[in-house]
C-alpha cells in the first residue's frame, strides 16, 4: 500500500509540474506553432484578458506575470518534492481560479476540454498525501515480526 501511494504521489507531482512547465513554455514560444495554444507572450496576455474581462487592461500584464511566476515556482517545488502538501493546495487554487475564469468568460466547454477542473482536483488530491517526516525510532529500533 505504501509503495502504491508513493507511486501515485510521484505521478501526481510530475504530471502537475509538466503541465505547468508546458503551459509556460507555450507562452514563451518554445512549442512549434502547430502544437501551441498561445505561441507568444502577447497572445497569452490577450487570452488572459479574454478570460478576465473584469480586470482592467493595465493590470493584465501583471496578472499574467504573477500566474507565470507561480506556475514556474509550483512546478519546481513539485518536481523537487519541496513543501508538496502546501504547493499542491496552492496549485489547486490557481487551477480552480483559471477554470472558473474560463467558465465564466467563454463557457464551461474550454475548461472541460483542457481538463482544468481535473488538474485542479488532482492538485487537491495530491495535497491530501501527508508529508513524510523521518522518525528517529525507525532508524534505531528493529521491527519485530
Q: What is the pLDDT of residues 79-88, one digit of tens each?
A: 999 999 999 9
Q: What is the pLDDT of residues 105-142, one digit of tens each?
A: 999 999 999 999 999 999 999 999 886 643 334 444 45
Q: What's the predicted TM-score (pTM) here?
A: 0.85
The helix (H) or strand (E) run that includes residue 30 is none
Q: What is the pLDDT of residues 3-48, one digit of tens each?
A: 888 899 999 999 999 999 999 999 999 988 888 889 999 999 999 9
Sorted by sequence, the CB contacts under 8 Å of residue 1 that are 6+ apart come out as none
Amino acid at each position: 500500500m505504501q509503495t502504491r501511494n508513493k507511486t501515485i504521489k510521484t505521478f501526481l507531482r510530475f504530471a502537475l509540474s509538466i503541465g505547468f512547465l508546458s503551459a509556460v513554455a507555450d507562452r514563451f514560444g518554445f512549442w512549434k506553432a502547430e502544437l501551441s495554444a498561445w505561441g507568444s507572450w502577447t497572445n497569452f496576455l490577450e487570452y488572459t484578458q479574454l478570460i478576465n474581462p473584469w480586470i482592467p487592461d493595465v493590470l493584465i500584464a501583471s496578472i499574467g506575470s504573477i500566474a507565470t511566476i507561480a506556475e514556474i515556482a509550483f512546478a519546481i517545488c513539485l518536481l523537487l518534492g519541496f513543501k508538496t502538501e502546501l504547493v499542491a493546495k496552492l496549485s489547486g487554487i490557481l487551477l480552480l481560479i483559471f477554470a472558473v475564469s474560463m467558465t465564466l468568460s467563454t463557457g464551461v466547454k474550454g475548461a472541460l476540454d483542457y481538463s482544468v477542473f481535473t488538474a485542479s482536483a488532482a492538485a487537491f488530491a495530491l495535497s491530501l498525501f501527508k508529508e513524510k517526516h523521518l522518525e528517529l525510532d525507525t532508524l534505531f529500533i528493529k521491527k519485530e515480526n
